[in-house]
Amino acid sequence: MKKQTIGAIKLVSLVALGLVFLSLKLMSASTSVDVKAQNNQIVASQDEQSFDQTQALDTLRKRIAGQENKPAEEVFKNIRMLKGVPAARLLKIMELGYARSLGVNCAHCHVAGGWEKDDKPTKQIARDMVTMAAAINNEYLKKIKNLKSETPIINCTTCHRGQTKPALNLPESPPKQGPAALGQRLPP
């Protein structure tokens, strides 16, 4: 009888110990998944990390010297969306409108040594985003009455704000003004 009780206690504590280990393992597994997800968002690809954007822009500006005001499609090889845009302005759009607004550098959309190539899916995505932004500006915003601006407009920065994946939620820290600062709960 006494022996059986000790045996039962041993069994129960073994099972409990097993459960503790299992849950620890599950916890560490889920943390490592979280870290990976974060890294996908934050850490740039290998070719992006080693890419020298300042030097690339320098080389390109020298290459188009004397043709700065010519339409992009006459100076570059594969222009489908930005036709009519002066060549120098195209480089500004690439640097500030695209790279900076998404928080990336040129290598996020371009393969080294071939600006005209369409090898990276992100380059075509960018073209499709131009079409989407134009539809919002030219169709949808125009239909909304009583807006503050006479010609309301959005661009890449409106959504991206320095990130490849636009946010769906506000940052964790409570805003300094508004209901949250007064201790009131915001509606979901």
User: Contact residues for ligand HEC (CB under 6 A)?
Assistant: 53, 56-57, 60, 76-82, 91, 94-95, 98-99, 102, 104-106, 108-110, 115-116, 122-123, 125-127, 129-130, 133, 154-156, 158-160, 164-166
**Residue 83: CB minimum distance to ligand HEC, A:** 7
**Taking the complex as a whole, how short is the minimal distance between the CB of residue 48 and ligand HEC, in angstroms?**
10
* Nearest distance, CB of residue 159 and ligand HEC, angstroms: 3
The torsion region of residue 130 among left (phi > 0), alpha (psi -120 to 50) and beta comes to alpha
Say if residues 93 and 100 touch (Cβ distance below 8 Å): no
Measure the CA–CA gap between 59 and 42, rounded to whole angstroms.
Answer: 28
Residue 164: is it exposed, middle or buried by C-beta count within 10 angstroms (0-12/13-18/19+)? middle
Contacts by 163-167, CB closer than 8 A, 24 or more apart: 163/41, 163/102, 163/103, 164/41, 164/102, 164/103, 164/104, 164/108, 165/41
In the complex with ligand HEC, the residue whose CB is nearer, 129 or 141, is 129
CB of 34 to ligand HEC, least distance (A): 18
User: Residue 41 CB, nearest distance to ligand HEC (Å)?
Assistant: 10
In terms of CB distance, is 23 or 45 closer to ligand HEC?
45
Asked if residue 153 lies in contact with residue 137, where contact means CB atoms within 8 angstroms, the answer is yes
Residue placing its CB nearer to ligand HEC in the complex, 25 or 80 = 80
Pick between residue 67 and residue 122 the one whose CB is nearest to ligand HEC: 122
